[in-house]
Amino acid sequence: MIKFYSNICGKKSLLVRTFCTRYSESHEWIRFNHRNKTCTLGITKYASDQLKSIVNINLPDLNSTIIRKQPIGNIESTKTVADIFSDVDGKCTLLNQDIILNPTIVNNSPEDKGWLLQIETNDVESFNKMMTKNEYGQFLKDINKSND
């Protein structure tokens, strides 16, 4: 099962999102590539919809230490400023330069082209504790019920 899981993680497909992506209560997603121990982090469509028009994104410096559950940057919109969190520890290894130059990419494609950064990590345990797509879907339903 691990070998199959690792092979899927290295390919871009619907399966990658289903099997290798996890979600946080603060509305970030993390896609884990088990082959090279790299996570790609972004915000969910729900978060993007709540923020509305994103005007600026502040990300950590390259090679900076990422500490789980600590703010690592923020997203400014015309409505508010929201902190960005990671649910895994690691080191920032890559920033999405496209979204820095054009933050609206995050509004238009938050779970694909609008990814924020990559993190090198061995924190598989924390990743596995995050919500699956189905669990996150239920989490959003519960939020919507409490807002009614």
Domain ranges of the chain: 2-10+24-140
Query: What pLDDT is attached to residue 13?
Result: 52
CATH (residue range 2-10+24-140): 2.40.50.100
Confidence of residue 5 (pLDDT cuts 50, 70, 90): very low
pLDDT tens for residues 66-83? Answer: 999 999 999 999 989 999
pLDDT tens for residues 93-132? Answer: 999 999 999 999 999 999 999 999 999 999 999 999 999 9
Q: Is the pLDDT of residue 10 over 50?
A: no
pLDDT tens for residues 11-62? Answer: 455 555 445 899 999 999 999 988 889 999 999 999 999 999 999 999 999 9
| Whether the Cβ atoms of residue 66 and residue 91 lie closer than 8 Å to each other | yes
Query: What pLDDT is attached to residue 2?
Result: 42
SS3 63: coil
